[in-house]
Amino acid sequence: MTMNGWIQILVFLGIAIALVKPLGGYITRVMNGERTILSTIFGPVERGLYRICGTRESEEQHWTTYMAAMLFFNLAGFALLYLFQRIQGGLPFNPAGMGPVSADSAFNTAVSFMTNTNWQGYGGETTMSYLTQMAGMTVQNFVSAAVGVAGAMAIIRGFSRASSRTVGNFWVDLTRSTLYILLPICIVGSLVLVWQGVPQNLNPYTAATTLEGARQTIAQGPVASQMIIKHLGTNGGGFFNTNSAHPFENPTALTNYIHILSIFAISFAMLNVFGRMVGNQKQGWALLGAILTIIVAGIGVVYWAESAGNPLLHALGLEGGNMEGKETRFGLALSSLFVVVTTSASTGAVNTMHDSLMPLGGLIPLFNMQIPPLGGIGAGVYGTLVFAILAVFIAGLMVGRTPEYIGKKIEAKEVKMSILAMLGPSFAILALTAIAIVIPAGLSGILNAGPHGLSEVLYAFTSGANNNGSAFAGLSANTPFYNVAIGLAMLMGRFLLIIPVLAIAGSLAAKKSIPASSGTLPTTGPLFIGLVVGVTLIVGGLTFFPVLALGPVVEHFAMLAGQTF
Query: Mind listing the pLDDT tens digit for each residue in 493-513?
Result: 899 989 999 999 999 999 998
Query: Predicted confidence band at 53 (pLDDT cuts at 50, 70, 90)?
Result: confident
Average pLDDT over residues 363-378: 82
Tell me the pTM.
Answer: 0.92
Any idea what DSSP says for residue 59?
A: -
Query: Mind listing the pLDDT tens digit for each residue in 15-50?
Result: 999 999 999 999 999 999 999 999 999 999 999 999
Q: 81 or 330: which carries more pLDDT confidence?
A: 81
DSSP class per residue in 215-244: EEEE--SB-HHHHHHHHHTT----SSTTGG
Beta bridge partners of 475: 446
Query: Predicted confidence band at 373 (pLDDT cuts at 50, 70, 90)?
Result: low
pLDDT reported for residue 126: 86
Any idea what DSSP says for residue 20?
A: H
pLDDT reported for residue 546: 92
- The share of the chain scoring above pLDDT 70, in percent, equals 99
pLDDT reported for residue 73: 94
Query: Mind listing the pLDDT tens digit for each residue in 465-487?
Result: 988 888 887 888 899 999 999 99
Taken as a whole, the chain contains a residue count of 565
Average pLDDT over residues 97-114: 93
CA distance 509 to 163: 6
pLDDT reported for residue 63: 94
Average pLDDT over residues 394-399: 82
Residue 372 has pLDDT above 80, yes or no: no
CA distance 126 to 111: 20
Q: Does an H or E element contain 207, and which?
A: strand 206-209
| Three-state secondary-structure class, residue 259 | helix
Residue 329 has pLDDT above 90, yes or no: no
CA distance 71 to 326: 39
Say if residues 150 and 30 touch (Cβ distance below 8 Å): no
Q: What are phi and psi of 446, to 5 degrees?
A: -80, 130
CA distance 363 to 140: 30
Residue 451 has pLDDT above 80, yes or no: yes
Residue 518 has pLDDT above 90, yes or no: no
pLDDT reported for residue 404: 87
Could you tell me which residues come within 8 angstroms of residue 74 by beta carbon, excluding any fewer than 6 positions away? 114, 115, 144, 147
Query: Mind listing the pLDDT tens digit for each residue in 160-200?
Result: 999 899 999 999 999 999 999 999 999 999 999 999 999 99
pLDDT reported for residue 459: 93
Which of 6-15, 131-140, 289-298, 395-404 shows the lowest per-residue confidence on average (mean pLDDT)? 395-404
pLDDT reported for residue 182: 94
Average pLDDT over residues 436-444: 93
Say if residues 360 and 394 touch (Cβ distance below 8 Å): no
Nearest CA-CA partner of 21 in 260, 272, 234 = 272
Which of 15-29, 205-219, 305-319, 386-400 shows the lowest per-residue confidence on average (mean pLDDT)? 305-319
Say if residues 332 and 363 touch (Cβ distance below 8 Å): no
Query: Mind listing the pLDDT tens digit for each residue in 60-70?
Result: 999 999 999 99
pLDDT reported for residue 152: 92
Any idea what DSSP says for residue 358?
A: -
Average pLDDT over residues 419-443: 92
Say if residues 338 and 350 touch (Cβ distance below 8 Å): yes
CA distance 172 to 242: 36
Q: Does an H or E element contain 381, and which?
A: helix 379-399
Residue 371 has pLDDT above 70, yes or no: yes
Q: 520 or 45: which carries more pLDDT confidence?
A: 45
| Three-state secondary-structure class, residue 404 | strand
pLDDT reported for residue 60: 92
How far from the centroid of its chain's Cα atoms is residue 94's Cα? 29
Residue 400 has pLDDT above 80, yes or no: no
